[in-house]
Amino acid sequence: MPDADARPLLEVKGVTVRFGGITALDGITFSISRGAITGLIGPNGAGKTTLFNCLSRLYQFSDGEILFEGQPLRAHPAHAIAALGIGRTFQNLALFRTMSVRDNVMLGGHCRSGTGFLGNALRLPSVRREERMLGEQAARMIDLLDLGEVAHRPVSDLSFGTAKRVEFARALMSRPKLLLLDEPAGGLNHEEVDGLRLLLRRIQSELSLTILLVEHHMNLVMRVSDQVVALDFGRKIADGTPAQVQAHPDVVRAYLGVEA
């Protein structure tokens, strides 16, 4: 029996997605080790978001398989993905703007809730215990993401960069093993991107997280990632360390549109 921790956390094997005549993903294969930060790059339309949507089970793939901890994701519907240990953030903020930071973060723990409707209505001791635990976890995430000073403010009061950290905190409440980040640097200024790089490293090590991020900000991807996977027109064109991928002739060609 192979050691469960030794096998990759995520294995993407020959995944293909077609939309009518368009092949958005064409036999994509790569794997991600536990604890790694992996950057997924590629020009516009390369298939990055489509791959993310397959990992969250929002899209069906026609061929191939995705294994998470050795188990096929196909067996799990989209609503069960968070409970399985895959969390995500979106390109556009998906927060409740009039609610406080703390309440938004608390909502992220909902998918782990084991108490049913009746238990909540009757305020059983198990419900109160769970609420207390959620509150403690939210406080930890708020602290980890430096949101303590704004915890009671509505999200509408926050700068875009701070609101992005609220989205992170909320995604972390489901205690994911794999966190999918869709363009976390989008809309951030230079200073905020640098802060994000340090933050990603910190949450990765403190929570023993594995992270897959789609990102156009090359400087961030190359500095924060252990592994980079490059797509172009739905195909994988490179997979390796940041230095290997950056120097790969197909990557240079895809980005610059010239012969390397």
Positions that interact with ligand ATP (CB under 6 A)? 19, 22, 24, 42, 44-50
Measured from the CB of residue 215, what is the shortest distance to ligand ATP in angstroms?
A: 10
Q: How far is the CB of 176 from ligand ATP (least distance, A)?
A: 21
In the complex with ligand ATP, the residue whose CB is nearer, 57 or 177, is 57
Give whichever of 47 and 108 is closer to ligand ATP, judged by the CB atom: 47
Closest contact distance (angstroms) between CB of 91 and ligand ATP is 7
Q: In sequence order, what are the residues at sequence separation of 6 or more whose Cβ sits closer than 8 angstroms to the Cβ of residue 33?
A: 8, 9, 210, 227
Shortest Å, Cβ 221 to ligand ATP: 13
H-helix segments, 173-217: 190-206
To ligand ATP, the closest distance from the beta carbon of 50 in angstroms equals 3
Nearer to ligand ATP, 91 or 113 (CB): 91
Task: Write the CB contacts of 73 (distance below 8 Å, at least 6 apart in sequence).
Answer: 55, 57, 66, 67, 81, 84
Strand ranges, E, within the chain:
10-19, 22-32, 37-41, 63-68, 71-72, 86-88, 178-182, 210-214, 227-232, 235-240
Smallest CA-to-CA distance from 56 within 91, 27, 106 is with 91
Judged by beta carbon, residue 89 or residue 104, the one nearer ligand ATP is: 89
Closest to ligand ATP by CB, 46 or 150: 46
